[in-house]
Amino acid sequence: MPKTLINFVHANGFPAGSYQALFNYFPKEYQVISHEKYGHDTQYPVKDNWQPLVDELINFVKQQLRINKQQQVVNVGHSFGGVIAFIAACQQPQLFKGLIMLDPPVLTGSTAVAVRLLKKTRLIDKFSPAGKAKVRRTHWPLGTDIAKLFAHRQLFKNFDKRCLDDYITHGVIEQNNQLELVFSAQVEADIFRNLAVNLSRYKNQLNVPASLIYADKTDVFPHVYFKKFIKLNKNINLKITQGGHMFPLERPEDTAQLIVDTITQW
């Protein structure tokens, strides 16, 4: 019997390998495929509303379906990844048997209109994390204890140690006689600057089973944003879990179980 294919789409700034601890908790009847870094291929540049990155996802899935001789995958995306997974499922529903969005930055209504205007100015760097991303430190001297350095940062403080280790393993390389981030800070900033604000155009266009799982302590948006978004899409079931915005890397075992339970319910 063929395995259930899960296409996992990473959050902005986090290569797919960062989620290996999470992937390891999926039962043997599941197989994870994942594109390592979105936004780094010049064929798919970062542009307004992330459409080229949606195209990158769709083409990756088509390729993997051919390789694995299957017809559909379950699309699972974290943060930015959840949004492009949603758009891809609306545009090419035949490729997907379901969609799970993990704490996605879903903008609709008047907020989307305001952000659309902000994106035309430099103020978008203040509204979004782009401002921090563009000045992010990207390299350190050889021998630096990266794990100790990162463990004290606000973003990583609640990470499962294995997830932090995976992020360092897959996200930091020795290059140019120094340690460097794999995920381009410029690409990360550009992704934030080009937030998808066109999600309302996909009202009721999602034709696959779907769940949006958000964290009770998320700091991305107030919870009402998720509730407004699912009103546009009757197929999406809303769930809440413990943790912050990075809960898949804070609680990998629980998150894997949440994903499996959701798929099983379908």
CB 46 within 8 A of CB 190: yes
Query: Which range has highest mean pLDDT (45-54, 109-118, 127-136)?
Result: 45-54
The tens digit of pLDDT for each residue in 90-103 reads: 999 999 999 999 99
Percentage of the chain modeled with pLDDT above 90:
79
pLDDT digits (tens, 9 = 90+) for 200-226: 999 999 999 999 999 999 988 889 999
Q: What is the residue extent of each domain of the chain?
A: 4-120+196-265
Q: Where are the beta strands (DSSP E) in the chain?
A: 4-9, 30-33, 73-78, 96-102, 139-140, 172-175, 178-181, 210-215, 236-241
For residue 138, pLDDT over 90 is answered with no
**What is residue 122's predicted lDDT score, i.e. its pLDDT?**
84
Q: What is the mean predicted confidence (pLDDT) over 103-127?
A: 88
Answer yes or no: are the C-beta atoms of 64 and 33 closer than 8 Å. yes
Q: What is the DSSP letter of 9?
A: E
pTM: 0.95
232: which 2 tokens? Answer: 């546009």
The tens digit of pLDDT for each residue in 118-131 reads 888 887 887 777 87
Contact 70, 2 (CB under 8 A): yes
CA–CA gap between residue 78 and residue 247 (Å, rounded)? 9
Domain boundaries 4-120+196-265, CATH class? alpha beta
